[in-house]
Chains A and B, each alone.
Chain A
Amino acid sequence: MESESAFAEEGRRRAMSAFAVASPRLLSEAWGRFGDDADVTPVRGPEIGLVMLRGRIGGGGGPFNLGEASVTRATVRLSSGEVGHALVLGRDPQKARLAAMFDAAWQRPDWRERVEVEVVAPSLAAQEEADRKLAEETEATRVDFFTMVRGED
């Protein structure tokens, strides 16, 4: 039972992180296929605020405050009862609202699979593609040292 809830928690965590990095357009177009805005009641926000970002001394030691980042948070309730939350970097109230709506939609057993396929998967795929591009462009700047042999023995 415990592992089952841990599994669900991991799934929701992965989904919420995917909503946060999704393009606003992906979210708004997907929502157009999902639900009606009339089914959504705002509970809190969207509101803009800050999150204090932290580093670690030496990279792995005790934490220190690095500086803040702007964020937007939102909480919504679907007419079917699910409450969704979102906290995303940046100042885009509409995106935070959509992310919260999808967090709520993901909790509906009859919608979860569709949210996974239509939103979570494409968002993560887009991120992976961006990561690969960055990694490959960086890889091309790798220094391949070779040793010059000078003179003859």
Chain B
Amino acid sequence: MYIAVKGGEAAIRNAHRLLDDRRRSDRSVPALTLDQIVGQMALAVDRVMAEGSLYDQELAAMALRQARGDMIEAIFLLRAYRTTLPRFAAARPLDTFRMRIERRISAVYKDIPGGQLLGPTFDYTHRLIEPAMADDPPVDEPMRRLSEAENCPRVTDILGAEGLIEADGQAGSDGEPGDLTRDTLDFPISRDVRLQALARGDEGFLLALGYSTQRGYGRTHPFVGEIRIGLVDVEVELPEVGFPVGIGRIRVTECQMVNQFKGSAKEPPQFTRGYGLVFGQSERKAMAMSLVDRALRADEFDEERTAPAQDEEFVISHSDNVQATGFVEHLKLPHYVDFQAELDLVRRMRREQERPREETESVQEAAE
């Protein structure tokens, strides 16, 4: 028998109205504009785009505003939006070598061709709350210095030229990559699908896993070969015209992690690699991604899988915060019937446990 319980309608309606009020809060304070969120909460917008797996700053800002700043709620909103749209095409792979660089650092070479460009970083700030953040004092224009168009070769290419590091992968492996938004995951999965999952994975989860590898749970001995942040052109092959055209630019962060070397009878010792690529300016996420990418390649290097970060099914199955929050948060929805069933069961078990004792007692009474 199933009995539907009604009566929540008015409560839900009023709760949502209350939410609208609380979201807007004090009406005498101006509402946030999307420009303000995109401009001044830029890294929050970047995170929502990365984990929402949809590059659209304005939508991410709307989602953040609607979610009252709750990142995972905003990410959920963006994911839901993307399911309403048709996919027109796949772009050509982004060429990060030709990135318009805003920040580029290497922790392995001091005098790297192209140089160390700090860009707009929190590094080397005092990490003390600045009183200026309480008001809106004038801000200086950035310094400018004449820039010679200098190529920034990848650090991995520099090491690669000497054969001291593994290559990017099989040349010409330009087959159609797997797509976890269309195909069900069937473990073990290939590295392309893993990278797709990690690129949209929860920053906190990947950060913790990356940290765990540093603490010894699947050690990979990492160095930051290079981090670069900047703008890349997006090109799409248009079937209507038969050639690729530029459709605009996006900002990405790329991390090349250089890891412990490995040699074998066939190959001389060389460094191994982990890779991270993330929407927006997000080097913590890109670094965590590259640590986890490398840890998950344990089998390729005959490393024993002993740590959580090396367990592909564990990592990939739990990295998506929209899935995770869906399953955790569903627990707060009514489970009245399920719980009633469990309650009945416990009561019955208790009764059955008590009955034999009563029966033996009554038998003894009769004997006496």
Q: Say yes or no: B146 contacts A59, CB within 8 Å.
A: no
Partner of A89, one of B180, B234, B241: B234
Cβ of B111 within 8 Å of any chain A Cβ, yes or no, is yes
Of residues B49, B55, B101, B238, which shows the largest number of chain A Cβ atoms within 10 Å of its Cβ? B55
Q: Say yes or no: A53 contacts B91, CB within 8 Å.
A: yes
Partner of A139, one of B145, B175, B196, B230: B145
Chain B contact-residue range equals: 35 or more
Contacts of B254 in A (CB 8 A): 59
* A68-B90 Cα distance, complex, nearest whole Å: 9
Interface-lining segment among B12-20, B216-224, B243-251: B243-251
Within 8 A of B (CB), among A59-106: 59-71, 73, 75, 85, 87-91
* A132-B277 Cα distance, complex, nearest whole Å: 25
Q: What string of 1s and 0s marks CB contacts (under 8 Å) between A10-26 and chain B?
A: 00110011001100000
Q: How many residues of A contact B (CB 8 A)?
A: 53
Given contacts A62-B177, A85-B241, A141-B119, contact A50 B86 (CB under 8 A): yes
Q: Say yes or no: A71 contacts B247, CB within 8 Å.
A: yes
Q: What string of 1s and 0s marks CB contacts (under 8 Å) between B90-114 and chain A?
A: 1111101100111100000011000
Partner of A138, one of B117, B167, B191, B246: B117
Contacts of A137 in B (CB 8 A): 142-144
Q: Say yes or no: B256 contacts A67, CB within 8 Å.
A: no
* A47-B47 Cα distance, complex, nearest whole Å: 26
Nearest opposing residue in chain A for B110, CB measure: A145
Query: What are 6 A-B pairs with beta-carbon distances under 8 A?
Result: A16-B241, A57-B191, A91-B59, A138-B103, A140-B143, A142-B117
For the complex with contacts A21-B246, A68-B53, A69-B234, 5 further pairs of A-B residues with Cβ separation under 8 Å are A17-B245, A20-B246, A62-B177, A63-B192, A139-B145
